[in-house]
Amino acid sequence: MYLLTIATLLVGVFAYWKGGPAEKICGVANVVVAALYIVCQALIAAGAELQVMLLLIDCGLALVFLALAVRYASLFLGAAMILQAAQFSLHAYYMVSERLMDAGYRTANNVISWMVLACIVVATLVSWSKRRATASAARPA
């Protein structure tokens, strides 16, 4: 869990530093959601029933990714949105079927989270590369 949290923070910083507007928003939203998720997990460990809150957090991030993918026509942010929707569906399935969050859930959740981070990194690299190519083409020889 700590490795994924640290990676999320680093990807958010990288996206904010080198990404375009869509990647910046995406990176910040992902970091905020990771922080909310940690708070909810701590409250759940203390005995609170917050399964619906976790579902709403997943839904909110998927909607942010959807808005960004549509607004900026980004293939990689579209992939991140689809992955986040899959994570939302996974969480909804476990909640509706009243299953405990077992090793299968944790594994699927972590794999999807890593794939979302990979999509954000690739989107940031593509945006950064396009800006560098535009800047070098505009520079007089």
Write down the pTM of the prediction: 0.89
pLDDT in tens, 3-55: 999 999 999 999 999 999 999 999 999 999 999 988 988 888 777 777 888 88
What residues have CB less than 8 Å from 32, skipping those under 6 apart? none
Please report, for residues 20, 33, 48, the alpha-carbon distance to residue 137 in angstroms, rounded to integers and kept in the order given: 18, 38, 56
Looking from the CA of 118 toward its CB, the CA atoms found within 13 Å total 8
Residue 126 has pLDDT above 90, yes or no: yes
3 state DSSP class of 95:
helix
**C-alpha to C-alpha distance for 115 and 111, rounded to whole angstroms:** 6
DSSP 139: S
Note every long-range contact of 115-119, with CB atoms under 8 Å and residues 24 or more positions apart, other chains counting: 115/83, 116/30, 116/80, 116/83, 116/84, 116/87, 117/7, 117/8, 117/11, 117/30, 119/76, 119/77, 119/79, 119/80, 119/83
Residue 104 CA to its chain's centroid (Å): 20
Cβ 82 vs Cβ 116: under 8 Å: no
The arithmetic mean of pLDDT across residues 109-128, rounded, is 94
Confidence of residue 133 (pLDDT cuts 50, 70, 90): confident
